[in-house]
């Protein structure tokens, strides 16, 4: 019953993410960081059809492992109406056969769709489109949350343990690591704190950047965060807003290079993913920072209930054992760790999920306000190239 609800819910969300937009708004020119919306909608249906129903039809159009990114913009794709019908038909076929198919692949298809739904939201933000109508205006005045949490060191099991109905291959399996005692911020870096770095010439000070970071900054011509203007405003969806009212909200739309430059400026550092996971779950290895019960709005800002972040002091019911807040939800958090396989890694049936990206991507943890809560746990690893800054990613820091 839960899987049936998830299949239906994921498909409703997918259709709602573009349902309010007209054809002109989704007929966008080539961009390297997004997919053509009509192609991506069809891909979601094909992925479910291929993995759950073992039906290879339309593979030449929608198999992301075979169809190069640039090619997706020039394919003879079905119309929007036909694509929506394909989505609806595929979900209905899966629901009709739910007792016959392997639940592992139903989970895979739902979580794959959840991740693409987050990418659909990135696309709307990137293109300057309005937020989807189902998400409310974020309203919160919880304020800042300064200070560090002290985390004792020791031997710690990093990664997921067997027992869940579904775990991604890059989380397998829990293995011992040694972690020295450390101090980690109770909350992510705020927009106000990042603005001080920008005002102090942080983007022009070579000594604050790594070699790779400075090369990116020069190539990109970056003088400020992606969505900020020179006059102190920032763009959220299709609107330019003053930064001041949102100064206690977490910094977002920064890449790993920008996060590391801020850290050098502030005399801090990014946590490793082992430190992050230990701070989130403690040595008892909680599933979530607050325990093993699923997320609720009081614990974590998730599921696109609002179309923006909340203040970093919000959701105190979700604190970790050490008093860290919002380690699940609000913004993804960059870590210092490269995305590499855990010891004994074995690739899962969906071979393209993790293995092609090892050693070139950076690990992020925690989820953002758009992420579906059913997707997450403390051991869940997201990964992006360190120069990617269109995602809703921020960062929290550790003392040196």
Average pLDDT estimate for 365-375: 98
In angstroms, the CA 37 to CA 43 distance is 10
pLDDT confidence tier of residue 136, bands split at 50, 70 and 90: very high
Residue ranges of domains in the chain: 2-126, 137-400
pLDDT confidence tier of residue 290, bands split at 50, 70 and 90: very high
The two three-digit tokens of residue 122, written as one number: 């990135």
Query: What pTM value is reported for the model?
Result: 0.97
Which of 44-58, 89-103, 238-252, 385-399 is least confident?
238-252
pLDDT for residue 29 is more than 90: no
Average pLDDT estimate for 329-333: 98
The CA–CA distances, whole Å, from 131 to 28, 127, 233, 240 equal 17, 11, 18, 13
Answer positive or negative: Cα dihedral of 45, 48, 53, 58.
positive
pLDDT of residue 179: 98
CA 298 to chain centre: 20
Q: What are the tens digits of pLDDT across the range 157-180?
A: 999 999 888 999 999 999 999 999
pLDDT confidence tier of residue 28, bands split at 50, 70 and 90: confident
Answer positive or negative: Cα dihedral of 86, 91, 92, 97.
positive
Average pLDDT estimate for 288-310: 97
Q: What are the tens digits of pLDDT across the range 269-280?
A: 999 999 999 999
Per-residue DSSP letter, 209:
S
pLDDT of residue 243: 86
Average pLDDT estimate for 169-197: 97
CATH of domain 137-400: 3.90.1580.10
pLDDT confidence tier of residue 125, bands split at 50, 70 and 90: very high
pLDDT for residue 117 is more than 90: yes
pLDDT of residue 238: 96
pLDDT for residue 196 is more than 90: yes
Closest CA to 119 of 393, 391, 394: 391
The two three-digit tokens of residue 162, written as one number: 């067997």
Average pLDDT estimate for 146-159: 96
Sheet of strand 148-151: strand arrangement = 148-151, 182-185, 398-399, 268-269
In angstroms, the CA 15 to CA 81 distance is 11
The rounded mean pLDDT for the chain is 96
pLDDT of residue 244: 82
Note if the bond before 173 is cis, omega within 30 degrees.
yes
Q: What are the tens digits of pLDDT across the range 220-257?
A: 999 999 999 998 899 999 999 998 888 999 999 999 99
In angstroms, the CA 241 to CA 249 distance is 14
């Amino acid at each position: 019953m839960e899987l049936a609800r998830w299949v239906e819910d994921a498909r409703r969300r997918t259709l709602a993410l573009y349902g309010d937009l007209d054809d002109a708004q989704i007929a966008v020119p080539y961009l390297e960081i997004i997919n053509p919306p009509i192609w991506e909608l069809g891909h979601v249906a094909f992925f479910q059809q291929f993995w759950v129903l073992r039906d290879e039809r339309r593979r030449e159009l929608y198999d992301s492992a075979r169809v190069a990114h640039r090619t997706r913009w020039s394919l003879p794709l079905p119309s929007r109406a036909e694509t929506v019908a394909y989505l609806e038909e595929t979900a209905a076929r899966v629901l009709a056969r739910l007792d016959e198919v392997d639940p592992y692949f139903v989970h895979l298809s739902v979580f794959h769709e959840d991740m693409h739904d987050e990418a659909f939201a990135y696309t709307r933000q990137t293109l300057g489109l309005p937020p989807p109508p189902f998400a409310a205006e974020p309203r919160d005045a919880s304020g800042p949350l300064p200070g560090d949490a002290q985390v004792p060191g020791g031997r710690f099991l990093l990664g997921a343990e067997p027992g869940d109905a579904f775990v991604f291959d890059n989380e397998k399996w829990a293995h011992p690591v040694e972690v020295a005692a450390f101090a980690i911020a109770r909350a992510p870096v705020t927009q106000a704190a990042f603005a001080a770095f920008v005002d102090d010439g942080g983007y022009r000070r070579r000594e604050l950047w790594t070699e790779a970071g400075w090369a990116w900054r020069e190539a990109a011509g970056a003088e400020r965060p992606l969505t900020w203007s020179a006059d102190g405003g920032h763009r959220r969806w299709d609107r330019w807003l003053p930064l001041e009212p949102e100064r206690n909200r977490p910094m977002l739309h920064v890449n790993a290079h920008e996060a590391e430059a801020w850290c050098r400026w502030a005399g801090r550092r990014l946590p490793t993913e082992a430190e992050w996971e230990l701070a989130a779950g403690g040595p008892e290895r909680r599933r979530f920072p607050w325990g093993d019960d699923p997320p609720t709005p009081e614990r974590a800002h998730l599921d696109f209930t609002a179309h923006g972040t909340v203040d970093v002091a919000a959701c105190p019911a979700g604190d970790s054992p050490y008093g860290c807040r919002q380690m699940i939800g609000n913004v993804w958090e960059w870590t210092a760790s490269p995305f590499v396989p855990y010891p004994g890694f074995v690739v899962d049936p969906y071979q393209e999920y993790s293995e092609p990206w090892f050693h070139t991507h950076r690990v992020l943890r925690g989820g953002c306000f758009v992420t579906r809560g059913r997707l997450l746990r403390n051991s869940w690893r997201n990964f992006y190239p360190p120069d990617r800054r269109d995602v809703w990613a921020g960062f929290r820091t550790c003392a040196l």
